Chains A and B, each alone.
Chain A
Amino acid sequence: MGLLTNLKDSISRAASTLFSEEDPKRIGIYGPPNAGKTTLANRIARDWTGDAVGPESHVPHETRRARRKENVEIERDGKKVTIDIVDTPGVTTKVDYTEFLEHDMEKDDAVRRSREATEGVAEAMHWLREDVDGVIYVLDSSTDPFTQVNTMLIGIIESQDLPVLILANKIDLEDSSVQRIRNAYPQHETIPLSALEGDNMDEVYDKIAEYFG
């Protein structure tokens, strides 16, 4: 019975989402591994819902499954914007378990993490194809943004005509250079922030409301 009720609920939820005029836009948080995507997703979720999305870690590929936080209501100038946040695994062209061994991980765990991360990237790419209405592209502003992965992903996002907001994260770091990101992707607006410190989040929310509202 519980199963049936759940099923009924989810069908009616899906139907109401389908026919509602104010469907929350599903916003994918994309970017390379360790750019701070989960930190940002958690920051947004905590600021507006009180909950977190998932664990953050300095070890790459901590997020290996897309995680969703639904119905995040962001208020800007008395207006409410409702979005679903999808925190995705860091997109990369190579996953190597030896990278994790440096983080005090056993080989078996590292191999498993590597496999899951690869599955996660496949899933994230699939979501990008048909399941997101907009993209927040997070870059670590202390590293070179001009990589094959970034160029390819931003190219895909542009070809889909998805609204995209580029965030230059980690401005609290010494090596941070927002200008480097602006130079790499001059066709898009780049917003600086530190998701960890909560710096410049107001502007981030303004832009989220503007782009995805």
Chain B
Amino acid sequence: MPHQCTNCGRGFEDGSQEMLSGCPNCGGNKFQFRPEGADNSPPTDTEPPEPPEPPGGNSTVAKTVGKTAATVRDIVGGTDEPSVGADQPETADSQIAAGPTDTEDAAQASARGEVVSPDELPDHTPEGDHQFEPAGADAAASESSADDTRDRPDLKELREELNNQFESVKVVAPGQYELNLMELYDREEYIVALEEDGRYSIQVPEPIQE
């Protein structure tokens, strides 16, 4: 099973066209290349450093990558191919492409050399005009997920940034606050109102107002 769905673990023969439109089991579109002879332990065991990061949520690496990807996307203007690399530099997809093969069976040769016929693809597949189409689909998926992570942690980021600037009050969650009394005491200006999304209104000392 040279390819394995990273979501449900279903295996696919090398060159299999089934996976071109996503895993038939779970719809997942990330696959890991597992050459013959490699051990068949679950994917998480073979790649421990990468997968644990996204669940961490606030991994700075993930954020940086997300931001860079967004910037690249903005510059490039929505071209698919650069964002594939930018969004998912370490996914298994690149391994699929890079996977070394000494022997090539018929399926592989077919996958490499032929264009998949529309009959072989499920109905819902958007124009199966390119055999790397799943990679494009993957890019679209990762783009949207990058957008999501960009949008959702935005508030978190804002909150964190404010917390770093105003260490005097940390907004843990709406209605939950941690106060740094020393910092509150030391500041010339003081907080007169806390607003939603971790914003503050502060009373600025007069010399600054003028």
Contacts and interface: CB of A to CB of B under 8 A. Distances in A.
Interface of A: 91-98, 110-111, 114-115, 118-119, 121-123, 125-126, 128-129, 149, 152-153, 156
A104 B194 CA distance: 24
- SS class, residues of chain A in contact with chain B: helix
Interface range, B side: 20 to 34
A152 B185 CA distance: 11
A92 B192 CA distance: 17
A136 to B, nearest CB: 18
B208 interface: no
A93 B181 CA distance: 7
Interface stretch (B34-42, B68-76, B137-145, B168-176): B168-176
Given A93-B181, A95-B179, A111-B174, 15 more contacts: A93-B178, A93-B180, A94-B176, A95-B176, A96-B177, A98-B175, A110-B175, A119-B193, A119-B194, A122-B179, A123-B190, A125-B184, A125-B190, A126-B187, A129-B185
Contacts of A125: 181, 184-185, 190
Interface string B189-208: 01111100000000100000
B208 to A, nearest CB: 15
Given A95-B176, A97-B175, A110-B175, A118 B194 contact: yes
B97 interface: no
B182 interface: yes
27 contacts: A91-B181, A93-B178, A93-B180, A93-B181, A94-B176, A95-B179, A96-B176, A114-B176, A114-B177, A115-B177, A115-B194, A118-B169, A118-B177, A118-B191, A119-B191, A119-B194, A121-B179, A121-B181, A121-B184, A122-B192, A123-B191, A125-B184, A126-B190, A128-B185, A129-B185, A149-B181, A153-B181
